[in-house]
Structure 1
Amino acid sequence: MSLDGLEKKKTIDLRKKHIGPSCKIFFSHDPIKIVKAKGQYMYDEKGQRYLDCINNVAHVGHCHPDVVKAGAEQMGLLNTNTRFLHDNLVLYAQRLQATLPDKLSVCYFVNSGSEANDLALRLAWQYTGNKDIITLENAYHGHVSSLIDISPYKFHQLSDAEQSHFVHVAPSPDVYRGKYSADRPDAATAYADEVKDIIEKVHKKGHKIAAFIAESLQSCGGQVIPPVGYFQQVAEHVRKAGGVFIADEVQVGFGRVGSQFWAFQLQGDDFVPDIVTMGKPIGNGHPMSCVVTTREVAEAFMSSGMEYFNTFGGNPVSCAIGLAVLDVIEKEDLQGNALRVGQYLTNVLEKQKEKHPLIGDIRGRGLFVGVELVKDRVKLTPATAEAQEVIYKLKEQHVLLSADGPHRNVLKFKPPLCFTTEDADLVVEKIDPILKGICLLAADAL
């Protein structure tokens, strides 16, 4: 492979000069310059290989040849907008819908998770005639203005920010660190009742609920797995109040959780959202996304009289790529791999928890796993600095991992679905001595 290009320092200098300073970069004091990727690996300008444990966008593996071929071939034939008939659009919509409950039958194709969630809000507002939105603590739903308003993960970073009067924040259904723990037998009901209470307060103020929105599994919020039954009860409260339930699958859809194709299905077959949004893995790195909803919601949206048009959404190239991604997931049994390797990864991490008091909790489904580091397992004191040290030391050993959550103390595993048990062993073998070294330093400091 050709690694010719700018010197790394020149790339850094040009980035500082021409790219917005609020656009952050991984490992800012010594960033990695990536020039090539394949499967679950990325390569820097010197040819050094890194194991990628964080790229949930390269869902079926970086630069998968089937996906690249599909996009290139269609690009050589035609790319245009959806005002022209094209088979790729309807065939992809049909194929995507087949993975969802029958009720979710109408697709709107857009270009990013942010666009999808913004459109989902518009659908909810039009369908219900209401305005107020309930979101979760530490939620992140996108970067456009409407979504910053409903993303505490973002707006809490603004020192002078005022929470929008039509946005209401419910407790994150975190049974490890949250208001109600897993020890409580009715944690799902307790968290759902918090949403019910918010609805009652909203009604007393003369407002009405348009939607409750939640990531099916919270990612930026710290790899949070809601207790089973929570979504069903929330949906009941919200629908009774005239609102709809929006499930954000941008981070966790397309088989990542292993046992199901969509993470909202972890709640059970009796739960079906009114609107589902998806992005990131849908195109394996190609910018595309989708909103899927019911016929009733779609017809209400049309009744506004305003046409919905998106220049690039659902174009023939994007749909060809989307079809190829679905083909690869099926052909290579990547959903099954996520289940098997994810369970293996969780098991080897649990063994590390027995060795290292710094590991407070391990949680996840499939290849969506979080390791929460704490200084004290009783007080749950966040080990934020320690989490940063782990990811920096792993980077020095050519493994890419990230840390997130409200305290930045949760190690996040969300690799391409071609991740293997050997990859899991490699990461854990490198984490083990790092955690041991941190503990020894802490002991010496006492």
Structure 2
Amino acid sequence: MINGFDAATAASLPEHERALVERRQALLGPSYRLFYKEPLHLVRGEGVWLYDHDGKAYLDAYNNVPSVGHCNPRVTEAIARQATVLNTHTRYLDAALLDYSERLLATFPAELSRVMYTCTGSEAVDLALRIACFATGGTGIIVTENAYHGVTRAAAEISPSLGENMPLGQHVVTVPAPDSYRSSEPDIGAAMARDVRAAIAFLTRRGIKPAAFIADSIFSTDGIFSDPAGFLKETRAAVRAAGALYIADEVQPGFGRLGDGMWGFMRHGIVPDIAVMGKPMGNGMPIAAAVMKPDIQEDFGRKIRYFNTFGANHVSIAAASAVLSVIEDEQLIDNAKRSGEAMLAGMRALQKNDERIGDVRGRGLFVALDFVKDRTTREPDGALASDVVNEMRRRGVLISASGPAGNILKIRPPLPFSRENADHFLDVLGAVLSDLP
């Protein structure tokens, strides 16, 4: 796991952290991984800041789930108020559920006018795959080579980034990510569409009907690729020509994070057949959803009963409604654009004087810094990225890493991240790079 703690080093930790690690290993087992060489024991969060048990503050430049900030007062108040009134499921009439659904769907293109709720993004992906297979009669799924889409069995089987010990599904085919930095292709969109068509042909030749292509709209685990805008249009056309569905995974790039509208796919001028979102919609509360074209859902809905016991429960809907209001009222999409531009400009200034920085890329509050051993060969330097991530953690700034080689800084702070926060981040990053050989 990238940026993972090695439990074998627990003896070197201070007594307090070592005791917690040992209890955690005994109670939760080895599947539960911790971040950083020195794990964090966090006890409180507020806005874009997290605080450890000693009271040390950490600037959060990584956590996208608390999308409108840790413990946002408007969201926590909505949760608390609703929890004192009612919290049950969607088999009773409820105006608040319908009100929120109308507001949510209004942020999508008009063609996407149905929503189905789950508790997690993984469940939403799982549901989207079920619907795609039902609607097309196919089973073939196409994903990028280092994609991550969730932890249910169906979602894990289309998540190559989980590693070789998690087998891909037998009907799953991977294609290269649209790596705008390392690819020699002059047109990254045409290259990706060509690879998707080849994957469709591969499935078809083996008697497997394609059901769906699914992509995280910023390719966050592949290495964070957003440019040029519109490069997914040809891929969308190739998927449509094959009779398959295009599923946009908006769990990470959605809710205005890219600063170019509410949803990541909008940057490419496409309309997916299904879009899925996860817990950022409720600032971490258990609510997620799949939004889709009505004709795709209609037959599925008539023939297959769908029910998620606490998907869209009253408390989670209250949280989601508050999140949407905060994004709109506090103009957080514009803030993501402005702060993101400052982050990119600052990192590009560092790049001019540091040969180890091969590329700076991203959009809004989802940006990346790509470390290389040599700018000519563009060989990834995962060790340096790990050192930077851990040294920034020691200096009170939290980020992580991404990409197949773990050499890409993954930076995606909560949406209220300000220009002042961006300046602080850049100051610490610059100091760390100066101090690391």
Q: Aligned AA for 2:425?
A: V
In 1, Cα distance between the equivalents of 2:392 and 2:414? Answer: 18
Aligned pairs for 1:7-156 (under 5 A) are 8-27=17-36, 29-154=37-162, 156=163
Indicate yes or no: 2:254 matched with 1:245: no
Residue 206 of structure 1 deviates from its aligned partner by 2.0
Q: 2:389 aligns with which of 388, 391, 394?
A: 391
Match of residue 164 from structure 2: 157
In 1, Cα distance between the equivalents of 2:326 and 2:169? Answer: 42
CA distance 1:423–1:176, change in 2 (3 Å): same
Q: Which moved more, 1:34-43 or 1:232-241?
A: 232-241
Residue 358 of structure 1 deviates from its aligned partner by 0.7
In 2, Cα distance between the equivalents of 1:263 and 1:408? Answer: 23
In 1, Cα distance between the equivalents of 2:199 and 2:71? Answer: 45
In 2, Cα distance between the equivalents of 1:21 and 1:201? Answer: 37
Q: What is the TM-score when the length of structure 1 is the normalising length?
A: 0.92
In 2, Cα distance between the equivalents of 1:279 and 1:329? Answer: 16
In 2, Cα distance between the equivalents of 1:284 and 1:163? Answer: 31
Q: Aligned AA for 2:32?
A: C
Match of residue 235 from structure 1: 236
Residue 145 of structure 1 deviates from its aligned partner by 1.1
Q: Which moved more, 1:421-430 or 1:288-297?
A: 421-430
In 1, Cα distance between the equivalents of 2:188 and 2:252? Answer: 24
Q: What is the TM-score when the length of structure 2 is the normalising length?
A: 0.94
In 1, Cα distance between the equivalents of 2:196 and 2:228? Answer: 15
- For 1:135-193, what per-residue CA distance to the aligned partner results, in whole angstroms no more than 9, with x for missing partners? 11111000111112111111x432xx654331111111111124x44xx1x32112211
The answer to whether the 8 Å contact 2:179/2:188 transfers is no
The answer to whether the 8 Å contact 1:67/1:325 transfers is yes
The answer to whether the 8 Å contact 1:188/1:228 transfers is no
Q: 1:177 aligns with which of 170, 182, 204?
A: 182
Indicate yes or no: 2:309 matched with 1:311: yes
Q: Identity, % of aligned pairs?
A: 42
Match of residue 207 from structure 1: 208
The answer to whether the 8 Å contact 1:343/1:366 transfers is yes
CA distance 1:171–1:8, change in 2 (3 Å): closer
In 2, Cα distance between the equivalents of 1:168 and 1:104? Answer: 27
Aligned pairs for 1:376-415 (under 5 A) are 376-415=374-413
- For 1:350-375, what per-residue CA distance to the aligned partner results, in whole angstroms no more than 9, with x for missing partners? 10000111111011110000000111
Mind listing any 5+ residue stretches in structure 2 that lack a counterpart? 1-14
The answer to whether the 8 Å contact 1:41/1:62 transfers is yes
- For 1:108-133, what per-residue CA distance to the aligned partner results, in whole angstroms no more than 9, with x for missing partners? 11011100000000010111111111
Match of residue 418 from structure 2: 420
Match of residue 296 from structure 1: 295
- For 1:239-283, what per-residue CA distance to the aligned partner results, in whole angstroms no more than 9, with x for missing partners? 221111000000010010112111100002xx1000000013101
Residue 218 of structure 1 deviates from its aligned partner by 0.9
SS of the aligned residue for 2:340 comes to: helix
The answer to whether the 8 Å contact 2:150/2:156 transfers is yes
The answer to whether the 8 Å contact 1:174/1:226 transfers is no
The answer to whether the 8 Å contact 1:35/1:45 transfers is yes
The answer to whether the 8 Å contact 1:132/1:167 transfers is yes
Indicate yes or no: 2:273 matched with 1:274: yes
Q: Aligned AA for 1:165?
A: Q
The answer to whether the 8 Å contact 2:381/2:407 transfers is yes
Residue 425 of structure 1 deviates from its aligned partner by 1.5
In 2, Cα distance between the equivalents of 1:188 and 1:8? Answer: 47
In 2, Cα distance between the equivalents of 1:75 and 1:162? Answer: 41
